[in-house]
Amino acid sequence: MIYFCKMQATGNDFIIINVMTQKFRYSYGNLAKFLCNRKYGIGADGVIFIEKSEVAQAKMRIFNSDGTEAGMCGNGIRCLAKYLYEEGIVNTDCFKIETISGIKDIQLSLENKTVSYIKVDMGNPIFEYNKIPVIFPNILEKSLQSLEVNCNDNEYIGYPISMGNPHFVIFENELDKIDLEKSGRIIENYKYFPHKTNVEFVKVISRNKIKMLVWERGVGRTLGCGTGSCAAAVVSILKEYTNNEVIVELEGGNVKIKYDVEENKVILSGTADRVFEGKIDI
């Protein structure tokens, strides 16, 4: 019997399982594939496993719906932060969560002991192609570089960037004309991306706002993506399309991104919600 909590942030939904308090003998990847199935399982974009950490209050392991492990998830870590506080696993509004992509600092806003807003220090964007990774000759540049891909007889110019996992940010004026299912799948698996990539189609609305469609690696179309929002905002700011603090409008809601260019540091802010709790017999 597995006990879980279902949560969501900007429509990106997750199953949270605390393996610190219950015996566990399952393969994380195989279990994630089953639990995320919306017909036969619980249904979600991914599963977050909470493990003990030697360097933070908890460790986050996140697996996509196809069973692959992700290094980081901005929406998922906000859900986890809310869960950790409201379950009494942490008792302070500032704490750290360990991830594969490093230790992330969390700051909570509270209302009557309930988490209303979460800020996450997402760390440093990575632009070097060999670290994202991207297979292309221009691998040593530490600044933002563009790359062209061919997709469905279209040529897209995008910007590879890592926010703990790889992203490819493409600017388009007419998002409603994007065939996200077809183009997203092709670009995710494009020859330049050895670990595949997340894909963001972005429209600049104003100096303070962008709109985004996202195709997530290992998941498909989702209503929101935290690291994708960070990636899109960073590129928008570096291209001087927007100011350094940006609202990202997603299909599932909005998040706020602040990027300190000099320190190369990104802060992601937004909400998260519990959906339901339960147990499932495997």
Asked if 94 contacts 109 with a C-beta cutoff of 8 angstroms, the reply is no
- From the options 2.60.40.10, 3.40.190.10, 3.10.310.10, 3.40.630.40, give the CATH code of 147-263: 3.10.310.10
| Domain range list for the chain | 2-123+270-280, 147-263
What is the architecture, at CATH level 2, of domain 2-123+270-280?
A: Roll (3.10)
Query: What global pTM score does this model have?
Result: 0.94
- Confirm whether 2-123+270-280 and 147-263 share one CATH topology: yes
- Residue among 269, 245, 282, 252 nearest 81 (CA): 269
Catalytic residues: 73, 225
CA angle 143, 230, 165 (to 5 degrees): 75
Residues 6 or more apart in contact with residue 65 via CB below 8 angstroms: 32, 33, 36, 37, 44, 45, 46, 218, 219, 220
- Give strand pairing partners of 265: 260
Q: Residue 6, SS3? A: strand
Q: What is the pLDDT along the chain (282 residues), one digit of tens a residue?
A: 899 999 999 999 999 999 998 888 889 999 999 999 999 999 999 999 999 999 999 999 999 999 999 999 999 999 999 999 999 999 999 999 999 999 999 999 999 889 999 999 999 999 999 999 999 875 566 788 999 999 878 899 999 999 999 999 999 999 999 999 999 999 999 999 999 999 999 999 999 999 999 999 999 999 999 999 999 999 999 999 999 999 999 999 999 999 999 999 999 999 999 999 999 988
Question: Residue 12: beta bridge partners?
Answer: 9
